[in-house]
Amino acid sequence: MAAANLYIKNVYLPAYNKEFKQKPMEEGSAFISWAGANIKDTLCKHYERTVSPDNCVSFEGKTLQIPPDKYRCHYVRVKVKVHRYLDGSLAIFHGPGKLADYDENGHLITKKKDRAA
């Protein structure tokens, strides 16, 4: 085994690297940090739904109304993801953006906006 490892280290790897090694096109690391990613949204159950004509999503007998936002006037016929968290609460996502949060009964959770004093 020692002779095989010595062969790999001294003969095989240098020949392999000589044939296949290439310089990177850009300097730096190809890895990106996970900073800012919400692990709670990764470690939950995801379900795909299509928004109905009344801008609602049906999920397990509950009707989840999507509130208006500044980006779109409606989400009719758009495919969205419903996330069910470990505590039973729900959220609707369109791509990476969260559209709304709901409690375990399907009631919209509204966040109070901070006001400048």
The angle formed by the CA atoms of residues 73, 79 and 81, to the nearest 5 degrees, is 105
Ordered alpha helix ranges (H), 8-49: 13-20, 39-42
29 belongs to a structural domain: no
70 belongs to a structural domain: yes
Domain interval for residue 87: 44-109
CA distance 112 to 62: 24
pLDDT tens digits, one per residue of 79-96: 999 999 999 999 999 988
28 belongs to a structural domain: no
Output the pLDDT for position 55. Answer: 96
pLDDT tens digits, one per residue of 32-70: 666 666 788 888 999 999 999 999 999 999 999 999 988
13 belongs to a structural domain: no
pLDDT tens digits, one per residue of 6-42: 999 999 999 999 999 988 888 888 776 666 667 888 8
100 belongs to a structural domain: yes
pLDDT confidence tier of residue 76, bands split at 50, 70 and 90: very high
72 belongs to a structural domain: yes
Could you give the number of structural domains in the chain?
Answer: 1
105 belongs to a structural domain: yes
Identify the H or E element spanning 4.
helix 2-7
